[in-house]
Amino acid sequence: MTLRVLLADDQALLRGAFRVLLDSADDITVVGEAADGREAVKLTRELRPDVVVMDIRMPEADGVTATSRICADPELRATRVLILTTYETDEYVAQALRAGASGFIGKGIRAEALLDAVRTVAEGDTLLSPAATRSLVARFLATPEAVTPHHSEQLAALTPREREMVALVATGLSNQEIAGRMFLSPFTVRAHVQRAMTKLHARDRAQLVVIAYRTGLAPTTPTSGTDADAYGRP
């Protein structure tokens, strides 16, 4: 199946470069380009892409606002948003997650990693490097205002194993990494995570991370690790 991608960036030169890169993949095609957030929302409704690759700072409506509008539209539930930006600040990561983005990466990402990022979010998984998840999501979503254990009744539908999986997802571990840690197959881990997402009405793994921190299921102190991140650094 060919993944259909919409590019949203106010810099035409960058859009052109990303288009050439994405179209070079056999399984990805760019179906449209938007120069601002308002146009991104409009074209998403018209073209129904699988993934919107969204910049943060754009005129008319910024990337976070556009992401929020797309993710709030029930008719666009199948569309995922991947934030691709120069501004990799803690605040933007938190805002993007809350808006419903399925991934957040920087424009310094390697070419092949960008292609993999599009594929990853199209499959319904989140794309935050383990380092970004631990240091950024934990820092901003695990604040006293964001962590609301009194909403822990949300977790009542989960089995103990599903709770364990959600907590591990919130640390930034991939299904493969969780499988290795728990001595389970990646298929089994994916099944547990998918069931947890369904029970918690999470759009994707990014929202699952948000729920984990807001309910206090995930630890407020991020764990450390040496995993290679989405930017190809050790």
| Last residue of one domain, picked from the residues 74, 93, 127 | 127
Asked if residue 87 and residue 8 are part of one domain, the reply reads: yes
Between residues 155 and 13, which one has the greater pLDDT? Answer: 13
Q: Give the three-class secondary structure for 43.
A: helix
User: Is residue 69 predicted with pLDDT exceeding 60?
Assistant: yes
| Last residue of one domain, picked from the residues 127, 149, 167 | 127
Count of beta carbons in the 10 Å neighbourhood of residue 80:
30
Q: Total structural domains in the chain? A: 2
Place of tokens 């976070």: 64
176-217: per-residue pLDDT in tens? 788 889 999 988 998 999 899 899 888 777 778 778 877 878
Asked if residue 143 and residue 122 are part of one domain, the reply reads: no
Judge whether 172 lies within some domain: yes
**Nearest to residue 37, comparing CAs of 5, 82, 84, 70?**
70
Full residue range of the structural domain in which residue 201 is found: 138-214
Q: What is the pTM of this model?
A: 0.69
Tell me the percentage of the chain whose pLDDT exceeds 90. 44
Give how far the C-alpha of residue 40 lies from the chain's centroid of Cα atoms, to the nearest Å: 18
Q: What is the CATH number of the domain that holds 196?
A: 3.40.50.2300
101-120: per-residue pLDDT in tens? 988 888 888 888 899 889 98
